[in-house]
Amino acid sequence: MKIRPLDDRVVIEILEAEEVTAGGIVLPDTAKEKPQRGRVVATGPGKLLDDGSRAEMSIATGDVVLFGKYAGTEVRVGDVEYSIMRESDVLAKEVKSGVAKKSAKKKKKAARKSKK
């Protein structure tokens, strides 16, 4: 079964929470918090505006996002758990640290070139 979200909704595959803390303590199932991180599997076409056009989605398929504990509606398809929520319920999008480092290097190179 495929899920296609409507309007400004997104389908997020819930990523499992860590089972071991940073200190090496193994957490039992009862002590785990509800996951707040997931990967976007599908996005809708965008919110319908008053003039009839669609607003562009700022989240794309494949993005890893953070959302509130109780945001969205949970749906299970087979063995995979999904959450369907509005784009506005997504709190943040994870950015790979390598991208930030590359852009910082480019800025330094540009600064050096402009000094010469």
Given a contact cutoff of 8 angstroms between Cβ atoms, the answer to whether 42 and 61 are in contact is yes
Of residues 40 and 69, the one with the higher pLDDT is: 40
Pairing mode of beta strands 73-77, 37-43: unpaired
Question: φ and ψ at 102, to 5 degrees?
Answer: -65, -45
pLDDT at residue 73 greater than cutoff 80: yes
First to last CA, the chain: 60
* pTM of the model as a whole: 0.69
Residue ranges covered by each domain of the chain: 9-115
- Closest to 21 measured CA to CA, from 32, 5, 10, 30: 32
- pLDDT at residue number 112: 60
Computed over every residue of the chain, the mean pLDDT equals 80
Q: CATH code for 9-115?
A: 2.30.33.40
